[in-house]
Structure 1
Amino acid sequence: MTFSIVGRCAETGQLGIAISSSSIAVGARCPWLRAGVGAVASQNITLPALGPQVLDALEAGLEPAAALDQALSRNGYSQYRQVAVLDDQGRSALFTGSEALGVHNAQAGEQCVAAGNLLSAPEVIAAMLEAFEQTPGLLAERLLAAMHAAMAAGGEAGPVHSAALQVVDDLTWPLVDLRVDWAEQDPIGELDRLWQAYRPQMQDYVSRALDPTRAPSYGVPGDE
Structure 2
Amino acid sequence: MTFSIVARDKTTRYYGISVASRFFAAGAVVPHLAGQVGAIATQALVSPIYGTEGLSLLRSGVSAQRVIDTVVARDNGSHSRQIHLIDAKGRAAAFTGDKCIDWCGHLIEDNVTVAGNMLSGPQVVDAAMETYLANSGLPLEERLLTAMEAAEAAGGDKRGRQSAALKIVHDEDYPWLDIRSDDHAAPLEELRRLHAVAQERYLHFAELMPTRENIHGLLDRTEIDRKIADLEAEREKAGRSSASFATPPS
TM range (shorter): over 0.9
Does 2:53 correspond to 1:53? yes
Q: 1:153 is matched with which residue? A: 154
User: For residues 95 and 84 of structure 1, what CA distance do their matches in structure 2 show?
Assistant: 6
Q: Is the 8 A contact 1:208 1:214 kept in 2?
A: no
Q: 1:195 is matched with which residue? A: 195
User: For residues 110 and 203 of structure 1, what CA distance do their matches in structure 2 show?
Assistant: 30
Bigger mean CA offset, 59-68 vs 160-169: 59-68
TM-score by length of 2: 0.83
2:41 match: secondary structure:
strand
Count of equivalent residues: 220
Q: 1:211 is matched with which residue? A: 218
User: For residues 206 and 30 of structure 1, what CA distance do their matches in structure 2 show?
Assistant: 26
Q: 2:165 is matched with which residue? A: 164
Q: 1:173 is matched with which residue? A: 174
2:4 match: secondary structure:
strand
Q: 1:130 is matched with which residue? A: 130
User: For residues 203 and 133 of structure 1, what CA distance do their matches in structure 2 show?
Assistant: 28
In the TM superposition, residue 208 of structure 1 has moved relative to its aligned partner by 4.9
Q: 2:113 is matched with which residue? A: 113
Q: Is the 8 A contact 1:101 1:118 kept in 2?
A: yes
Q: 1:7 is matched with which residue? A: 7
In the TM superposition, residue 73 of structure 1 has moved relative to its aligned partner by 2.0
User: For residues 203 and 16 of structure 1, what CA distance do their matches in structure 2 show?
Assistant: 19
1:102 match: secondary structure:
coil
In the TM superposition, residue 110 of structure 1 has moved relative to its aligned partner by 2.7
Deviation sequence 1:175-218 (CA, Å, 0-9, x none) = 010000110x2101100111111124313223155224327568
1:121 match: secondary structure:
coil
User: For residues 42 and 208 of structure 1, what CA distance do their matches in structure 2 show?
Assistant: 29
User: For residues 192 and 71 of structure 1, what CA distance do their matches in structure 2 show?
Assistant: 34
1:68 match: secondary structure:
helix
Whichever residue aligns with residue 118 of structure 1, its letter is: M
Q: Is the 8 A contact 1:7 1:112 kept in 2?
A: yes
Q: 2:39 is matched with which residue? A: 39
In the TM superposition, residue 79 of structure 1 has moved relative to its aligned partner by 0.4
Whichever residue aligns with residue 214 of structure 1, its letter is: R
User: For residues 80 and 121 of structure 2, what CA distance do their matches in structure 1 show?
Assistant: 20
Task: Give percent identity, aligned residues only.
Answer: 35
User: For residues 63 and 139 of structure 2, what CA distance do their matches in structure 1 show?
Assistant: 26
User: For residues 56 and 176 of structure 2, what CA distance do their matches in structure 1 show?
Assistant: 20
2:48 match: secondary structure:
coil
Q: Which has the larger radius of gyration?
A: 2
Q: 2:98 is matched with which residue? A: 98
User: For residues 192 and 84 of structure 1, what CA distance do their matches in structure 2 show?
Assistant: 24
- Runs of 4 or more, structure 1, over 4 Å off, are 215-220
Relative contact order higher in (CA < 8 Å, ≥ 6 apart): 1
Runs of 5+ unmatched residues, structure 1: none
Q: State the Cα RMSD in Å.
A: 1.9
Q: Is the 8 A contact 1:3 1:115 kept in 2?
A: yes
User: For residues 208 and 85 of structure 1, what CA distance do their matches in structure 2 show?
Assistant: 27
In the TM superposition, residue 75 of structure 1 has moved relative to its aligned partner by 3.2
Deviation sequence 1:133-170 (CA, Å, 0-9, x none) = 11121100000011001011111112110000000001
TM-score by length of 1: 0.92
Q: Is the 8 A contact 1:110 1:133 kept in 2?
A: no
Q: Is the 8 A contact 1:104 1:118 kept in 2?
A: yes
